Structure 1
Amino acid sequence: MVRLALVLVLGAIAPLLDATIAGVALPTLAREFAAGTAAVGWVSTAYLLAAAVTIAASGWLSERFGTKRVWLTALAVFAAGSAGAGVAGDLGSLIAFRAVQGVGAGLVQPVILTILVRTAGPEQLGRVLAIVTAVTVLVPILGPVAGGLILAGGDWRWIFFVNVPLCVLAVVAAGFVVPAEAPSRPPRFDAPGLALLAPALAGVLYGLSRAATTAGFADARVLVPLAGGLLLLGVYVVRALRGDHPLVDLRLFRIPSFAAAGGVQFLAGLSLYGAMFLLPLYYQQVRGQDALAAGLLLAPQGLGSLLVRPLGGVVDRAGAARVAVTGVLVCALATVPFAAAGPRTSPLLLGGALLVRGAGLSAANIAVMAGAFRDVPRAAVSGASTVTRVLQQTGGSLGTAVLAVVLAAHAGSVTSAFHAAFAWSVALTALALLPAFLVGGRGVRADAKG
């Protein structure tokens, strides 16, 4: 199981790393292609929208073609898009290849969860997910460091080329380790559901990304896609609850432990991951560090996430709720120093707070992911993986947008603006404590192996 988890994690590193590295490279790309901020922003937006489409279809594809085949295909598509982006000669072709990357990336994470949950079973789930969640927390933290090092020492094209060998290694290793799962005969593909859900997710995620860059929700470029996405999402919800075989079965939320874990995932994205948007900006704008130095100063948070990996066994024995509540609370308390920190605050104090914050964030992730699948029937795991990925993505995007608006709207000095934004992050975290108490509670466990 550990070997399987490590191979799957190897395949997840490239998409996780790519999202943060590409963000660091946007100013460099703007200069390279002599493009404005709005135009070069599509390098990230095309990736985001393409991923939203494939996330929506990931559950059905896993059932129809088998998880191993879908995962290997997703990595191959992502590697091809990465190679194409690396050789792109103009901004248009770069954006197109970024969309290809997004198609592959949108499938990787939910399919990994499906493979691990089905293989591990409820008894070992915490131990196995401890490996995966540690990487999903660590890689986005270290991504800016990797991006800064690549841009400082080499050509921008290596921002994308670096993904190719990682994907190739993962594909080769998967041939020996990842179990082949026979395709099933799922219900007929819900094309109308995809026609509603894919643009709904794309509109919501695009609107939130625009809110984060324009620092406001009143802009038409934010309101139109956001309102359109929410409208389509509402139509999909009504249709899914009435239909027999929806693309993503929302009746999974009738499972108490899954519903509670979903609430924590969304609210954690809103509050906890939103703070990850603030932290590098704080070091750059308040403490005057460059992007590479800011990334290195955030390294203790990644170390903290690795230190709590043994908690997987604790989750399996003691249950997810206690660990989830403790992790969310620790993460919130460790964010408090930044709500009062200034240009001369001790770097040792802030480094210690980041170490503790990383530990709390990783502990909460392990517990929530294990609790989410505790009572989910085996036949519904692929659909549950899709739902969890959507909740993480939208929660994180909303959290980033909200805190960006708070940061920009607060009058006064830059330091006081960050104080307000971090205070909002801490306050929002309290909301995640409420459903955390219910994660992994007794539900339909009797059906979990069905």
Structure 2
Amino acid sequence: MTTTAAPDAASDKLDSGVLKIAGVVVIGAIMAILDVTVVSVALPKFQSEFHTTPATAAWTMTAYTLALATVIPVTGWAADRFGTKRLYMTSIALFVAGSVLCSMAWDIGPLIAFRALQGLGGGMLMPLGMTIMTKAAGPDRIGRVMAVLGVPMLLGPIGGPILGGWLVDTASWQWIFLINVPVGIIAFTAALKILPKDTASASESFDFLGMLMLSPGLALFLYGVSSIPGEGTVGSRKVLIPAVIGLVLVIGFVLHALRREHALIDLSLFSNRNLTIAVITMTLFSVAFMGSMLLFPSYFLQVRGENTLHTGLLLAPQGLGAMLTMPIGGKLTDKMGPGKLVLFGIVIIGAGMAVFTQVAADSSYWVLLGALFVMGMGMGLTMMPIMSAAMASLTQHQVARGSTLMNIVQQTAGSIGTATMSMIFTQTVLNDKAAATYGGVLQGLVPADQLPPGALDAGRSAFADAFGSTYVVALVLIAACLIPALFLPRHKAAPTGDPTSDEAAQAPVLVH
């Protein structure tokens, strides 16, 4: 078998070797991330096909997310133990197998189970891809590497609803899963031929106790948080019991990890100032931005009456804006550090978000699409430079654990943000009689033809106001990101050691 040697990390530009590796990683990441948003548009189809409730159909999404949260903590250790190439190819195979089984599901229960299997494979693809790319490119090109890895994050929210709506309308729901088969075969074959061999290390024992606490702890906590919108309150037993148990398990893991030398997640990484600040910034940013991203398609679907395909197209300007600035942001991060770029990006996002705080039922599409484009430009200068700040100062030995940590933070914070924004919006609607009535019409609980004249328009307007009020909260959280972002490095980060050297690979992390 022919393999490509690891490219020269000292070169300033992304050479052909790194770009080939990037292509493999991006294909796998797109496959995993796109699958989340593609399935979201098929939920009504699942309800009618399997004669089930909306809450049960939503478990096809929840099971995938919980499986992601369960497997991500193990990825760092597994990458060290088995090597990134073999583990990456195994993840692709697992994801494709889950996809095939999903397409063969005969009832909603098996479909939920097969979605969880998909999540076990998909959960490892992004942190593994980040590890592979960081090792291949070296510390001087982290910004450009992260810009490349940002492409799947953009294509998922944009392309998912478009692709999913088209497949469900023109073919069948099975094709939203079968589409992964040819893509997965291409990704597996490319990984086999292009990814360089890496050396597996058996020096660290597996932290079984840590896994038994952290993986189910994260899954239970996210399950409780994701139940908030459906329950309408944080005080529900369905929310509190799993969330509290999950939180206790996570806290137990932290206490355990502080005493164990080779814990599942290396908490000594927090002695790295740049990584710690990046984690805090990413947490706030993911809560605010990922939560607000949920609201954009909902506004177009519920207030403006657009179908799924048109809604996906209307969201495209956000991705186009990010695609414009992300390569620029990557290059500038490598040259001048992420600090100034992230601050500027957050300000731009805030400017676009401010437009949506004033959204109405008849707001100009040109204004809204322009605001989405501006927010996308800000995102291109924000998310991946934050990730670069975390990864640039890590040694090669720390990269797998660092990328795992950042993916856990992003996944958890994003879920919290989504649940928080959904709860705020739901409560705002329920507190307004006109908006609540309109919500009943959307759910089919209130016949529209039985409403008095003008009630439907008044309800639609009140519904739009509820979106605007929720965007105010998102804007405040976006502004709060400026505080930790002020402490991000304002110049090119100096790594703790040469990540290509053997000494750096074994360099200890000093705990102060």
TM-score range, shorter chain: over 0.9
Residue 182 of structure 1: CA displacement? 1.2
Offset, 1:441: 5.9
Instruction: Give the alignment partner of residue 386 of structure 2, picking from 357, 361, 368.
Output: 368
Describe how 1:37-116 pairs up with structure 2 within 5 A.
Answer: 37-116=54-133
| Structure 2 counterpart of 1:428 | 477
Secondary structure of 2:206 counterpart: coil
Please, which runs of 5 or more residues in structure 1 have no aligned partner? none
Task: After TM superposition, give the deviation of residue 191 of structure 1 in Å.
Answer: 0.2
Is contact 2:128-2:400 (8 Å) kept?
Answer: yes
Moved more, 68-77 or 202-211: 202-211
CA distance in 1, matches of 2:154, 2:38: 15
What is the CA deviation profile of residues 183-204 of structure 1, one whole-angstrom value per residue up to 9, with x for unaligned ones? 0123110000000001111011
Q: How does 1:49-448 map to 2 (within 5 A)?
A: 49-308=66-325, 309-410=327-428, 411-412=431-432, 413-440=462-489, 445-447=495-497
- Give the residue type in structure 2 aligned to 1:128: V
CA offset at residue 89 of structure 1?
1.4
* Aligned positions, number: 450
Between 1:188-197 and 1:322-331, the stretch displaced more is 322-331
Counterpart-to-counterpart distance in 2, 1:440 and 1:246: 28
- Equivalent-residue separation in structure 1 for 2:182 and 2:394 (angstroms): 35
SS, match of residue 356 in structure 2: helix
Structure 1 position 448, deviation (Å): 5.4
Check conservation: 1:272, 1:332, Cα contact below 8 A.
Answer: no
AA aligned to 2:41 is V
Q: Deviations over 1:195-236 (max 9, x none)?
A: 000111101111121113333212111111111111111111
Q: Deviations over 1:383-435 (max 9, x none)?
A: 11111001000111111111111101113321221111001000011121111
**Which AA in structure 2 matches 1:438?**
F
Q: Is the 8 A contact 2:34 2:157 kept in 1?
A: yes
Q: Deviations over 1:119-175 (max 9, x none)?
A: 111101111211111321232232112111111111000011111111111111122
**TM-score normalised by length of structure 2:** 0.86
Q: Quick one: structure 1 residues 326 and 186, their matched pair in 2 at CA, closer, same or farther if it must change by over 3 Å?
A: farther
Q: Residue 2 of structure 1: CA displacement?
A: 1.8
C-alpha contact (below 8 Å) 1:137/1:362 kept by paired residues: no
Q: Distance in 1 between matches of 2:202 and 2:114?
A: 32
1:13-47 superposed Cα distances (whole Å, 9 cap, x missing partner): 11101111112111110110001123222212221
Pick aligned residue for 1:24 from 26, 38, 41:
41
Deviation at 1:447, TM superposition (A): 2.9
- Determine the C-alpha separation between the residues in 2 that align with 1:27 and 1:127: 40
Separation (CA, whole Å) in 1 of partners of 2:41 and 2:166: 11
Give distance in 2, aligned partners of 1:128 and 1:270: 24
Unmatched runs of 5 consecutive residues or more in structure 2: 1-17, 433-461, 505-512
Higher helix share: 1
Residue-by-residue CA offset, 1:367-387 (whole Å, 9 max, x unaligned): 111111111121111111111
Instruction: Give the match for residue 453 of structure 2.
Output: none
Q: Aligned partner of 1:422: which letter? A: Y
Paired residue type of 2:468: H
| Structure 2 SS opposite 1:252 | helix
TM-score (norm 1): 0.97
Distance in 1 (alpha carbons) for counterparts of 2:380 and 2:494: 27
Q: Percent identity?
A: 36
2:139 aligned partner, one-letter code: P
